[in-house]
Chains A and B, each alone.
Chain A
Amino acid sequence: MRSDLSSLQLYLALVAAGTGLAGLLAGLPTLGAAPLLTAFYALATLSLARLVMPWSLWLDLLLALLGAVALIASLPPGAAMPLHHWLALFSAWALAWLFVERLSAAIRRGRLPETGIGLIIPVLFGLALLVIWEVVTRGANVPPVLLPPPSAIWARLTAEVPLLWADFVQTFIKSVIPGYIIGCLAGLAVAIAVDRSPFLKAGVMPIGNFMSALPIIGIAPIMVMWFGFDWQSKAAVVVAMTFFPMLVNTVAGLNAASAIERDLMTTYAASYWQTLMKLRLPAAGPFIFNALKINSTLALIGAIVAEFFGTPVVGMGFRISTGVGRLAIDLVWAEIAVAAVAGSAFYAGVALVERAVTFWHPSVRGGRA
């Protein structure tokens, strides 16, 4: 027996080959119907050869990909797929898992470089999720109203680019970005004021706390009454949502400078503003960026939900609420996909700026304090 397989890897290899063999036997009566799938069954069974000879982990990846392609290619249109296809899905899934296990073990032992190669794991994970989603929804004939397959969502996405773009501009560019900037700046400014004045600390902090506890579905209709149906009311909801995380984090961050660092400023007879700009704000950087990251996701959620309560006939939240009503679920999912990509990109952008600005913090440079 080859020794470089852990017990989990061995188990996965046996499952992959076993289900492959079972699929081959079950598929024998309809051998000609899906030749690619039959080839996959045969190769998956043959992968048992790893027990007696070297077997590259990349072969496992190729086999898993072949299984995925074969499964999707042999999906019958408009009907449930034959039962033995589930064995193929199981086998391909086990092979993909086995590949990821072996790859991460190889990276851990330093036999493969982390950078670049390490990206394969999350990509493959996402891909596996999409393939399973596609095969399960179409293979089991799930009604599209419950869950449309990714291919249908993608088709809708590409067909409706102008509509989705208009929604994106309305919600993200017009509501999220201004609301985010105003909310974060206001939180920062109020935090500095609160930090300076004990009176404001006693007065403003409880109100901020109270504001953050207000449910968004309570604020949104009120904002629509105050600021009208267009993006201004959505931006106002975003301001209300992003203000408090920034306030609390900045107030905490302004106390992050150590006593000795402040004493140093006192010995220089530095003014309040000099101490603020040269010591306390830089030291608060990691806290402020925490708030910026939290707010980047909160802002998008806030704007989308706010659009459920009155909006012109454009916007991501509007499209989702009306799409559900018209049973255009694939459009809803396309909108969700756009929101997810936009939100992740926003977050990643803020995180990149954070790395550049707080490069000195132990959590970023990966050193000791």
Chain B
Amino acid sequence: MSDTVIETSFAKDTGPAVVRAEHLGLTFPTGDGDVVALSDVNLTINKGDFVSFIGPSGCGKTTFLRTIADLEKPTSGTLTINGMSAEEARRARAYGYVFQAPALYPWRTIEKNIALPLEIMGYAPAQQAERIKRTMDLVNLSGFEKKYPWQLSGGMQQRASIARALAFDADLLLMDEPFGALDEIVRDHLNSELLKLWDRTQKTICFVTHSIPEAVYLSTKIVVMSPRPGRVTDVIESTLPRERPLDIRETPEFLAIAARVRDGLRAGHSYDGEHV
């Protein structure tokens, strides 16, 4: 790989800021004291970035994603999405969210599930049909339009839920461990499909995971987080090209980035150890 390739890949990724967090903090009051889920998080996500959030459970990676989605309210600091507050961005339907579980409604067929956001947002029936077809092609689910979710495998269900998040015009895609419940083979396959999809749609993707190879394989930027209190310990800009075959995972560059992520995670843990 030549240096020029890396240069261009960087140039392509650095667009205007989509998500900007400054001194963001979130504290949950509980019965036995407050839990600091996020503490002083500063992060800028640019247009076209693929950002992974990685860290052990309790590090606040899902909470941060839910804060971007306005499903949780920060208790301090500022957060802007496309220059708007998180609530305004949600009302403007600025993002699509893919949850840990597919969350497809069992009384709707796959195409009707994908139509759900379109119905709510008031798309005309002809537009709905066109978008359903396009997104189902995009996630390779054509032919399963009339099936019910419980008639499909877990991997297909999660692909349908990605199609649902892509069906409307949101430039930001938030994904919370979408492949966490799937086996390794299906996961590899969906990861490479996700990269192709990202390339084709030019969306900005925030991706929560607890798998180091997954984070390194997918991302242009890896945010390493650690728990108690939930905070960002390292932000790693990936030097890998945008075009990534699966066997890139055996290259020295890949392994070097993975090692740095692992170091970041270990640093977070040793900090944790001082308190035990």
Contacts and interface: CB of A to CB of B under 8 A. Distances in A.
A and B interact: yes
Interface in B130-157: 148, 150
Given A258-B103, A282-B107, A264 B97 contact: yes
Interface string A353-366: 00000111110010
Interface residues of B, number: 23
A360 B91 contact: no
A285 B105 CA distance: 13
A262 B99 CA distance: 12
Nearest to B164: A264
A269 B93 contact: yes
- Where chain B touches its partner, the secondary structure class is loop
Contact of A365 (B90, B116, B150): B150
B212 interface: no
A263 B99 contact: yes
B211 to A, nearest CB: 21
A197 interface: no
B101 interface: yes
B107 A360 contact: yes
Contacts of A268: 93, 116-117, 120-121
A266 interface: yes
Contact of A278 (B69, B96, B116, B121): B116
B103 A260 contact: yes
A261 interface: yes
Report the interface size class on chain A: 20 to 34
Contacts of B96: 267
A208 B69 CA distance: 39
A264 B99 contact: yes
Contacts of B93: 268-269
A267 B90 contact: yes
Nearest to B89: A269
A267 B71 contact: yes
A327 B193 CA distance: 81
A360 B116 contact: no
Nearest to B106: A360
Contacts of B70: 266
A260 to B, nearest CB: 5
Contacts of B120: 265, 268-270, 274, 278
14 contacts: A260-B103, A261-B103, A263-B71, A263-B99, A263-B103, A265-B120, A266-B70, A267-B69, A267-B71, A267-B90, A267-B95, A268-B120, A285-B107, A365-B150
Interface of A: 258, 260-261, 263-270, 274, 278-279, 282, 285, 358-362, 365, 367-368
